[in-house]
Every structure is written in C-alpha cells, then in structure tokens.
Amino acid sequence: MVRKERVETKENVRGGNGSIEFHYILTEEELMGHGTMYARVIIKPHSSIGWHQHIGNTEPYYIIKGEGTFIDNDGSKTTVYPGDVCTIEVGQWHSIENNTDEDMEMIALIINERAK
C-alpha cells in the first residue's frame, strides 16, 4: 500500500509559540500500540514546542534541517543541528525552540513504554 502523508498545522503546541506542521508518517493505529506518533515535524521560524512531560512514553527527535534549541529535563539548553538526536527518558520533561528565520525540521517518534 502507498498513501500520502497527512499534514496538520497546529498553533501554540504544548504551550509553545507560533506554528508547527505535523507531517504524519504513520497513524497511531499503524503503530499497533507501540507508539502514538511518527511524523516529520516542521517548526516554523520563531516558534516552539512548549515544555512538556512524557508519562508512559518517550519521544526522540532527529534533526534533519535547520537549527534549534533543545531544552532538556534539567533545564539545560543545547543548540541542535542536522544529524543530532535529542532523547528523553520516560517521565522526563523537554521542549524545543526555533529562534531562527528559517524552518527547522525533525523526525519525532512517540514510543510507548510498553506496547498496549
């Protein structure tokens, strides 16, 4: 089967600023209980995904274009570039910001702690 990705634009994601485009690669159903989201995410210029916690799941980010600031569980900030992988453990907090004038793109995969 071949199908097109589903695209949604959301504002103020997790209390962040601006616009985020979600290009869903697999639906939650297609992840078969192993996760809830697999998507290419485009963070528009001067936008962010707000500070949030993952309970019962984790969400690595793989940066594919642009640069951003990853805010880790301990509040530390790291500038991230293509090829960087941002990881958190189950129960931790994180956020990410694009403070540039260019789009930032990443792959995000929300993985359940245990398959349902």
Could you tell me the residue ranges of all domains in the chain? Answer: 6-59+75-112
Rg of the Cα atoms in the chain: 14
Instruction: Identify the band that residue 1 occupies on the pLDDT scale cut at 50, 70 and 90.
Output: confident
Report d(CA 89, CA 15) in Å as an integer. 21
Instruction: Identify the band that residue 115 occupies on the pLDDT scale cut at 50, 70 and 90.
Output: low
Residue 106, CB-side half-sphere exposure with 13 Å CA sphere: 28
Judge whether residue 116 has pLDDT over 80.
no
- Nearest-CA neighbor of 88 among 66, 111, 65, 69? 111
pTM: 0.94
Tell me the CATH number of domain 6-59+75-112, given options 3.10.105.10, 2.60.120.10, 3.30.70.100, 3.40.640.10.
Answer: 2.60.120.10
Report d(CA 22, CA 45) in Å as an integer. 15
- Per-residue model confidence as pLDDT tens digits over 51-62: 999 999 999 999
- Predicted pLDDT of residue 23: 98
